[in-house]
Each structure stands twice: as C-alpha cells, then as structure tokens.
Amino acid sequence: MDTRHMRYFVALAETLHFGHAAARMNMSQPPFSRQISAIEKTLGVRLFERNSRNVALTPAGQHFLADCRAVLDQFDAACRDVQLVACGMKGELKLGFMMHAAHSVIPALVRLYSEARPDVRLILEERIPTDIEEMLAEGKLDAAVTFGGGPAPHLRTLLLARDRLCLIVPQGHRLAGVETIGPQSLAGERLIAAPATVAPTLRTAIGLYCASGGVTPHYAFEPRLQHTIIRLVQEGLGVALIPQSLCDDLAEGVVSRRLDDAPEFDVVLCASRAAKNPAVPQLFEVAGRAGVD
Amino acid sequence: MDTRHMRYFVALAETLHFGHAAARMNMSQPPFSRQISAIEKTLGVRLFERNSRNVALTPAGQHFLADCRAVLDQFDAACRDVQLVACGMKGELKLGFMMHAAHSVIPALVRLYSEARPDVRLILEERIPTDIEEMLAEGKLDAAVTFGGGPAPHLRTLLLARDRLCLIVPQGHRLAGVETIGPQSLAGERLIAAPATVAPTLRTAIGLYCASGGVTPHYAFEPRLQHTIIRLVQEGLGVALIPQSLCDDLAEGVVSRRLDDAPEFDVVLCASRAAKNPAVPQLFEVAGRAGVD
DNA sequence: TAAAAATACTCCATAGGTATTTTAT
DNA sequence: ATAAAATACCTATGGAGTATTTTTA
C-alpha cells in the first residue's frame, strides 16, 4: 500500500469509471483495474461494488476516500514544504539580540523580515552580548543583533547602525548643567557599568574613553542590565555611559548629556559562517536591502 | 516519492546511521543509501549532512522529519480505519425511529450499541413511520425502529417489544370512571388519530378495533404527531387510542384507561436487506443479545 | 449488442542484493 | 587502520502495456 495506490483509488472514487480513472492516471485500463484489485486484496476490504455496468463506493470506500484525500494533501504539502524550508521561505529562525537593540534596529528588522518571509517563524531571544556570542558558536542561535567591531572571523556580519556613548546623571548632579563634557569630567565620579563579562564592547569603550582623559574609572556598581544601570543612576548612586539609543525616553530624574568625542561602536547583524539554516542568508539580504540608517 | 521513501528517511533520521537504519528496514546498506540519495535528488533538497563518519539532519531535514511522521501516522491510520469500517467497528450508522420509540426501546438500544461500538457515530433521525419506510428503501437510513407486522420481504426485522393501544380521555370525561371499556364504548366519541398516510399500522388497528364492536369511528382531528394528539385530548377536543408506552407520564388533565382486548402491535428493528453498511448486522446482534423486553 | 470491467501474457523500470571502493578519523 | 558511506554491477519483483475474454443492461 502506497500513496500511488491511494491516488488510483481516489481517481476511481471520483470518476466511478475504470477507463476514465486510468486515463486520468495516464495509464491504460487493465493495469489500473489490477491495481484497484490489489489494493482491495492487501487491505482485505471491498472498496467498490462493481460490475461491467456500474461502479459504486462501499461505505468503507466512502470513509477511505475522505481519509485518502487528507493523507495525500498532507503528503504533498510535506514534499512541497521541505523545498520551501530548504530555500529559506519557511521554517524557523532563532534571532538573538542584546537588549539595547530592542530600542533601535530590532523592531524595523523584525517587521521587514516578517513581511518578506511570512512563513518563517522568527524566534526572538533577548540575551547579553557574551551569551549571544556563545549561543551563535553553539548553533543555539541562527543569527543575532549585537555589537560589532571585535575580530570575528567565524562570523558573517552586516553593519546595521552606529551608536555612541552618552552620559546619564541624576537630576541636579554637578554635571547636569555643564556645557562641555569630556573624559576629564568623569574624574572622581562613581561609574555604573555592566561588567566586562557581560558587555565587553561597552566596557572597553568606557575604559578607553576615561583613559584618553587620564582618568582611572571607579566602578561603584556593575549590574548586568542597562535598565538596572539607568535605575541606579536615577537613585543618585552614580553616573553611567550608555548607548545613545537608550537615552531617548529616560525615566524621570535622569538627565542625559552629550559627550565630546563620544566613543562610537557598530551594531551589527551576525551569524556563524557554519550556520546551515537557509533562512539566514535571506535575513542578511533583507537587512541589506533595508540599508543602514 | 512515496511513503516507503518516507519510512526510509525517518529510519535514518532516527538512527543517524545508514547501516542501522537499513537493518531496521530489513535491507542491506547499499540500496538503502541509494534510496536516501534518490529522495534528496527528487526533492531537490539535501536532508542530511554526512560523511563516512557522521550523519546529521539539515534544518530542512528536521522540518521534513516532523512532517513525515505526521503523514505516516495518518497514512497508517487510514489503512487501519478502513478495515474497522468494513467490519462495522467504526463509521456511521443512520438510525431512524418513530417518535413513540423514543419513549420505549430507543434509549436502551442506543446506550447498548454505543457501548458496544463506541467508534460508530449513531445518527438518530426521528420520522413518521411512512417516511421511515421510504427512507429505508432509498438507503437514506441504515436501520430503523418502527412498527412491525406488515409484510416486509425486502426488510430484515427483529422484534424489540410488543405494545398495545390504550385510551386517553380528558379529565372528567364520561369514560374516565367507567370500569370496562370495549370497542362499543367508543360509539359517538370524537376520535383523534394520526392519518393513515402517517401511521398506517396504528390507524388500521384503531379501525379494526372499532369495527369489532360494530362502531364506525368518527375522526374529529388527524394530526401527524402523537404529542399533538395528546394535547388536543387535554383540551377536551376528543379521545384517542395511543400506544401504551406513551401513557406513562401523561400531561395534567389527561387520563388513560386500559382497553378490553386492546389491539397489540410489534415494535421492530428493521433494515433493508440490500443495505451495505457493515455496522447494521452488528446493531441487530446487539439488539438481539439485549433480548426482547 | 455494446460498453466496460476482468483476465492472460509480455516487457521493462526500479528496488534490492553482493562485492568493492572511497573517505575520514 | 578501521568503521561506515558511496559506487559498480547484477538480479528479480512487480507495475504497466497490448490483446482478449467475460459480463450485464
């Protein structure tokens, strides 16, 4: 018993005429008749009441017809879908992103890609940059939006946006009113920043910026999440250097200030070059078409 | 592409080893390898990443595996179910019954049969006896519970119960208190009965009963439904002879009385001998095992 | 009698077997 | 060096074709 047999059965059930059904199957009547008999024999069930003048479905045949149609539809869909998956038109794509990308490039990227590939289920995973790197390497993510800049030979990357650091201080802080803020301005300040194990790119940028003014940074707190950093600044526990894109709608009591020669960094889309998910190249294509903004 | 190929694919996807998968399919490795290649070639999709040391599913293969399992399950279920339908263990059974059977034998019969054949969907059709006869002949009903007694060479019948006619009168009617009621007692009464076109068995029995007392019946109203008849008696519009089984819980204002030599009739399960629904014989079997009550 | 399903037989495409080679660790 | 997948070649099952017979309205 096979799908071909089911197709023969459905053809006969729909035409109720051996000759016509055989023609529909592009074959002659005798082998077609034999196949129908063979089906009935292997199933052990009479599917048609027939003589040389009439062909009719038995109740069992009626039931089987509905089942066969469902099976054949599902079978054909499976064969079609696997091709769509293979060319990235269907399937799943696990996209990681660091939290601050949610405020900048992720919304537009997700919208664009979902419109271009509506049958690919986008699974979004918000993680800290170091975890993203690890998950990409392990294949637990197909692609990710994170900081660029580091040497990444095993990664394919695409620049999505450039961002810069920006200072946030509590309302009423001595720096809240100062015109020009440079690295020297940070001398003596209690800094709040994510640890190097979480966001090495930011941390390095902050360190280099301080060093460029001859300042040795004093880290008062080192929370993992940028939201937490902002919250601590709000409480007056220190100042912080955070991505510009997070400064747009700050909470009450927090003030953002531009920095002179603010460190800049790339936000990139990246994926392991070893990644085999065929949806990945298309994500790069869509992201590339959209252009850097 | 066929279900056999899908089984090969699933075997390899589950073992990730050509030799073991081939063994599971009761064949040797070389033709098995060739089949896998053939599948990939016809689909135009690489399903496995492999070398002489490792076998792994591609993302397309992952997706295809889930689809194949679903297809194969449905395929196997279809082949199994058609056999169950053919032996009456599954499917549908359209059972007609005249209204008054709902008060006597139908509940027990339906319960017994549903317990014996839980996978057969019982479709109950309540109809007047003449319609039941017609629908049985046309094959619109597989079986029915109706009056027996008539000559029915094309029907297979099984006696389910015997019933008798019984008089109902409005409260306060002159016959409400009379001890012995015979056919003569009906002289001059306005009778209410279903027309012969609806329930010939009952109608004939009523006519014969009156005639046995030399009474010519006067039919005041001829509604189609027994419920309507009872309602009209309740309104004082006449008296009626109805099946005993309908007299158990009469509405307020209606009184039932036994009849001397009350006409009796059979309630039978019947089905066309030409009926091909394999569930029918089993219905008779269940009904027979339950016995006549 | 005629239309259509079943049977008889022939042929070939393809699934499967055995022996062997290639490949990667 | 070895385990395992790929390749080469052979065999045979069974699906399809043509010619014919049987059946029934």
Q: Name the residue with the least CA to C1' distance from nucleotide D25.
A: A53
What is the pLDDT averaged over residues B182-205? 93
- Classify residue A16 by its DSSP letter: -
- φ/ψ (deg, to 5) at B289: -60, -40
Of A254, A261, A266, A139, nearest in space to A201 by CA:
A266
Report pTM: 0.82
Q: Is the pLDDT of residue B104 over 90?
A: no
| Whole-number distance in Å between B19 CA and C20 C1' | 17
8 Å CB contact between A229 and A194: yes
Whether residue A227 sits in one domain with residue A175: yes
User: CATH number of the domain that A32 lies in?
Assistant: 1.10.10.10
Of B292, B290, B193, B293, nearest in space to B243 by CA:
B193
Of A116, A139, A117, nearest in space to A125 by CA:
A139
Q: Is the pLDDT of residue B151 over 80?
A: no
Whether residue A273 sits in one domain with residue A129: yes
What is the pLDDT averaged over residues B64-87? 96
Query: Other C-beta atoms within 10 Å of A142: how many?
Result: 25
- Classify residue A91 by its DSSP letter: E
Structure tokens at B108: 């027990």
Q: Is the pLDDT of residue B73 over 60?
A: yes
Q: Is the CB of A51 under 7 A from strand C?
A: yes
Compare all CA atoms of chain B with the CA of A61 and give the residue at the minimum distance.
B82
Q: Cβ separation of A75 and B75 shorter than 8 Å?
A: yes
User: CATH number of the domain that B230 lies in?
Assistant: 3.40.190.290
| For the segment 25-64 of chain B, residues whose CB is within 7 A of strand C | 26-28, 30-31, 34-35, 38, 51-54
Enumerate residue ranges in chain A where pLDDT < 50: none
Residues linked to residue A165 through DSSP beta bridges, in sequence order:
A243
Q: Which residues of B touch A90 (CB under 8 A)?
A: 63
Q: Which domain holds residue B233?
A: 161-265
Per-residue confidence band for B204, with pLDDT thresholds at 50, 70 and 90 = very high
What is the pLDDT averaged over residues B109-133? 94
Q: Which residues of B touch A91 (CB under 8 A)?
A: 59-60, 63
Q: Are strands A239-243 and A190-192 parallel, antiparallel or unpaired?
A: parallel
User: CATH number of the domain that A242 lies in?
Assistant: 3.40.190.10
Separation CA B239–CA A178 (nearest Å):
108
What is the pLDDT averaged over residues B269-278? 91
- Per-residue pLDDT at B291: 62
- Per-residue pLDDT at A292: 53
Q: Which nucleotide is nearest to A32 (CA to C1')?
A: D16
Whether residue B125 sits in one domain with residue B74: no
Handedness of CA B219, B225, B229, B235 (dihedral sign): negative
Whether residue A48 sits in one domain with residue A72: yes
- Classify residue B246 by its DSSP letter: G
Q: Is the CB of A218 under 7 A from strand C?
A: no
Q: Is the pLDDT of residue B89 over 70?
A: yes
Per-residue confidence band for B292, with pLDDT thresholds at 50, 70 and 90 = low
